[in-house]
Amino acid sequence: MTNAPPSDSAYREQVAAALEAAHQRARQIPARRFDLYADKLIIFSDQHRGARNGADDFLRSERAYNAALAYYFQQGHTLAVLGDVEELWEEFPSAVVRAYPHTLNLEAQFHAAGRYVRVWGNHDDDWSNGDVVKQHFGPFFGERLAVHESARLVISDGLQELGTLWLLHGHQGDTTSDHIAWLSKWVVRWIWRPIQRLLRISLNTPAKDWQLREKHNIALYSWAARQSKLVLIAGHTHRPVFKSLTRAEQLEREIKHLEKAPRAPVDRRQQTVLANLSADLEWTRAQNFNSPGAEGEAPVPMDKPCYFNTGCCCYADGDITGLELAEGEIRLVRWPDDAGRPRPKILATASLKDVLAHC
C-alpha cells in the first residue's frame, strides 16, 4: 500500500520544516547589504536552459532573456538567478554549457563586476557541488564563482535596517522536487526526455497545473507569513506572485474595484480601462497553456505582502518575467513589452519600504 499524499495543511507543515532548515543554513553565510535607493537588483529564475533540441524549453525565450541581461548590465543592476537555470534533469551539464556560451558570457559580465548572485534549484542541483561548478563554469566565470542554496539581502535606508529579503529557488519540502527528487530526475531524463525531443512538446507540471502551483505557493506564503521583517522571494512554481498575490488575482481585484466604483452612464475611459484589464486577465490565465477559468479563493488569507515569485524565463510564447528592485521600489516586469520591443513592461510596482514595514 502506498502512502496517501499529504493534506494541504500537512503539506504546508512539510514545506515549512524544509524552509526552516534551509533558513538556518542560510544564516551561516554573511548576508549581502542592499541600499534601498543606491543599489539595483534584477531577479530571474527557471530558465531551464537545455541543449537546443526539442526538449529545450528556453529556446523561445533566449532572445528576451539575453536582451534583458544586456539592459540590466548597462543600468548597473546586480543579477540574481534563483535556480533551475540549467535543465540538468534532462541534459548533462556539458551539453547545456556548450549550447549557451553567449548567454553564459552575458551573465559572467555581472560576476566580473561583482554583481552576480547564483542559487541552485532542484533541476540544477549539480551546482551544489563546488567541483562541478568549477569544471563547467570555470571558463566563463573563473574559479571564484560560488553557487548557494539561498542568499540573504539586508535592506537598509541609510543607516536604518528595514528588513531582509531571502532569495531561494523554492522547491524545498516539495515531495517530487525535493523528497524524491532522485526518482523524479530519473523519470524525466530516461522516459520523458526522449518523448519530448521526438514530439517537441513541453510538459512542465509546475508551470501548467494551477492546483499544484497554488498549493505550493500557499505553502511558501504560509511560512513567510510567520516571520518578522522578512520577505521571501522564490521561483520554482513558474507563476509570478507580487505582494502575495498572483498576477491574475491582482487583475481580478482591480476589475472588481472598478466595477463597483460609481461612473457616468457612458464613461468611455473607464470602459476602456475595464476592457484592457479584462483582456490582460484572460491573457494571464491562458499563458503557457494553462487551463482557462477562475482560480478560486486561497484556503488561507493572503493579507501580508511577505511572498514574491519571479515567474519564469521559459514561457511558451517566449516571454520572461522577473522582479526589479530599484529607486526604492520592487517591480514585477515582463520582457518584451506590449509592442514586442526588447524593453521591460512593468506589471506591478510597490514601495519596498512599505512592503517591509507591513512584514
The pLDDT tens digits of the residues spanning 42-93 come to: 999 999 999 998 889 899 999 999 999 999 999 999 999 999 999 998 889 9
Q: Which of 50, 34, 52 is nearest to 42 (CA)?
A: 34
* pLDDT tens sequence across 195-219: 555 555 554 544 444 455 678 899 9
Q: Is residue 295 part of a domain?
A: yes
Q: Is residue 288 part of a domain?
A: yes
Q: For residue 142, what pLDDT band results from cuts at 50, 70 and 90?
A: very high
Q: Is residue 1 part of a domain?
A: no
Q: Is residue 37 part of a domain?
A: yes
Average pLDDT rounded to a whole number, residues 305-331: 95
pLDDT at 260: 79
Say how many domains are in the chain. 1
Q: For residue 137, what pLDDT band results from cuts at 50, 70 and 90?
A: very high
Give yes or no for residue 4 having a pLDDT over 50.
Answer: no
Tell me the pairing of strands 41-44 and 78-82.
parallel
Calpha distance 327→352 (Å, rounded): 9
pLDDT at 38: 96
pLDDT at 7: 66
Average pLDDT rounded to a whole number, residues 150-161: 96
Give yes or no for residue 290 having a pLDDT over 60.
Answer: no
Largest CA distance in the chain: 68
Q: For residue 135, what pLDDT band results from cuts at 50, 70 and 90?
A: very high
Give yes or no for residue 310 having a pLDDT over 90.
Answer: yes
Give yes or no for residue 265 having a pLDDT over 80.
Answer: no
Tell me the pairing of strands 345-351 and 329-335.
antiparallel
Dihedral sign for Cα 273, 65, 122, 55, please. positive
pLDDT at 219: 92
Average pLDDT rounded to a whole number, residues 341-355: 95
pLDDT at 160: 94
Q: Which of 113, 88, 100, 63 is nearest to 342 (CA)?
A: 63
Average pLDDT rounded to a whole number, residues 182-194: 50
Average pLDDT rounded to a whole number, residues 166-192: 65
Q: Is residue 126 part of a domain?
A: yes
* pLDDT tens sequence across 29-39: 999 999 999 99
| Sheet with 147-148: strands ordered across | 147-148, 116-119, 78-82, 41-44, 320-326, 329-335, 345-351
- Tell me what the pLDDT averaged over the chain comes to: 85
Question: In terms of residues, how long is the chain?
Answer: 359
Question: What SS3 class is residue 110?
Answer: helix
308 pairs with which residues across the strands? 233
Q: Is residue 2 part of a domain?
A: no
Average pLDDT rounded to a whole number, residues 319-328: 97
Average pLDDT rounded to a whole number, residues 132-136: 96
Decide which of 234 and 282 is more confident.
234
Q: Is residue 3 part of a domain?
A: no
Lowest mean pLDDT among 146-150, 237-241, 300-304, 345-349: 300-304
Dihedral sign for Cα 149, 42, 236, 104, please. negative
Query: Are the C-beta atoms of residues 3 and 124 closer than 8 Å to each other?
Result: no
Give yes or no for residue 293 having a pLDDT over 50.
Answer: no
Q: What is the domain range of residue 164?
A: 8-357
Question: What SS3 class is residue 18?
Answer: helix
Give yes or no for residue 298 having a pLDDT over 50.
Answer: yes
CB under 8 Å to 347, separation ≥6 — which residues?
A: 240, 242, 247, 321, 331, 332, 333, 334
- What's the grid cell of residue 151? 542568499
For the chain, count helices (H), then strands (E).
12, 14
pLDDT at 187: 52
The C-alpha cell 543599489 sits at 39
Q: Is residue 62 part of a domain?
A: yes
Calpha distance 222→238 (Å, rounded): 18
